[in-house]
Structure 1
Amino acid sequence: MTKNSDELGNEKKARDIADLFKTAKELSILCGILISIIIFNPGEFVPTMWPNEFEAKTILTRYLGFSEDERRKKLVEHETYLAKKLIDRKLIIEEKMRRNEENKLNFMFKQLYDRKVKISELKLDAKEIRGLLKLSAATRAQLDERKKQFDQQAQNFQPASLLCNFDSTTKNEMDYSDFNVDTSLSLSSGRGIKRGRND
């Protein structure tokens, strides 16, 4: 015997309510707070209460005993909660879409840069073209900034050790050159003296 849609809906509703009661019990134990749940079902005159009718009425009476300002301090209506959840979910989806679009543009830009594909083969729309142009301009700006930093580092770089080595080498070569001159003069003088003696 198959169940009709009403019976299936009632079973699902019963499971959802049971899950709600279980979550409320766990939250009450973990946080040490009083929780009561009162559910008004369509077509029913007696509401469903948790944890039981007496405790639910006691907690509700205590809540109603607070002033209006006290009750509104941490009051969150279900519609407000759902609206906030929808806004948060929308922001998350928009952020994921933005990242996907950025990754797509980066991939196409790399394909074009590596010349693996021609721009005519991509069949870009106006939005994608604008995105690629913007990405190209940003990449160019980064390269210009890196080149500027590299030029500044090159200007500030002074190879002191190389200059010292160059100076000492030049000095040694000069001294060695002077030594050769002196030696040749001495030899010449020596040969001249020797020849004079033979004569």
Structure 2
Amino acid sequence: MTKNSDELRNEKKARDIADLFKTAKELSILCGILVSIIILNPGEFIPIMWPNEFEAKGILTRYLGFSEDERCKKFVEHETYLTDKLIDRKLIIEEKVRRSEEKKSKFMFKQLYDKNVKVSELKLDAKEIRGLLKLSALTRVQLDERKKQFDQQSQNFQPASLFCNFDSTTRNDVDHNDFQVVDTSLSLLVGRGIKRGRND
């Protein structure tokens, strides 16, 4: 005997509620907080309460005892929570698609560069051509930036010209008489040492 759609839907609903209660219990134990669940089904007058009717009513009464500002501090609607989750998931998917397209563009760009394949041979669509053009422009900017850095390093590092400037300034600024004075003073000192040695 096969089950009809209503029975299958009710079974799935019961499993979902059981999983929700299990998660609520784990959350209350791990975080040390009071958790209460009240489910109002359409067309039913008696709500489903967890962990039981007495505790659920007590937690609800305590919650309603707080001011409006206190209740709204960390209040999150289930719909808002799911919407934020969907937005996060969408951003993750978009990032993965972007990376995949970037890898594909790099692969096609490498084929064009290494194997000298013509663009017409790859049978690209408009989106793929735009990706190649974007990658080509980005590569050009990176190459220009590296060339600029290399030129700056080449200008800052000129050992040959530095040594030439040093030699020329030394030869032009230093007078030969200075070397003669130094030589004379050295000879005098040596002479005095010799005389003192003889007298001693």
TM-score, length basis structure 1: 0.74
User: Residue 111 of structure 1 aligns to a residue in which SS?
Assistant: helix
- Within 2, Cα distance between the matches of 1:53 and 1:152? 77
- Kindly state the Cα deviation for residue 68 of structure 1 after the two structures are TM-superposed: 1.3
Unaligned runs of 5+ in 2: 164-200
Q: Report the equivalent of 2:97.
A: 97
Q: Report the equivalent of 2:12.
A: 12
Alignment of 1:54-133 (within 5 A): 54-115=54-115, 117-133=117-133
**Deviation sequence 1:40-93 (CA, Å, 0-9, x none):** 122322111000000000000111111111111111111111221121122112
Q: Report the equivalent of 1:43.
A: 43
- Kindly state the Cα deviation for residue 96 of structure 1 after the two structures are TM-superposed: 1.5
Alignment of 1:172-187 (within 5 A): none
How many residue pairs end up in the alignment? 163
Amino acid at match of 1:78: H
- Kindly state the Cα deviation for residue 28 of structure 1 after the two structures are TM-superposed: 0.2
Amino acid at match of 1:111: Q
- Within 2, Cα distance between the matches of 1:45 and 1:156? 84
- Within 1, Cα distance between the matches of 2:106 and 2:41? 54
Instruction: Note if 1:134 corresponds to 2:134.
Output: yes
Instruction: Note if 1:146 corresponds to 2:151.
Output: no
- Within 1, Cα distance between the matches of 2:47 and 2:66? 23
- Which has the larger Rg? 1
Unaligned runs of 5+ in 1: 164-199
- Within 2, Cα distance between the matches of 1:144 and 1:67? 62
- Kindly state the Cα deviation for residue 37 of structure 1 after the two structures are TM-superposed: 0.3
Query: Identical aligned pairs, as a percentage?
Result: 86
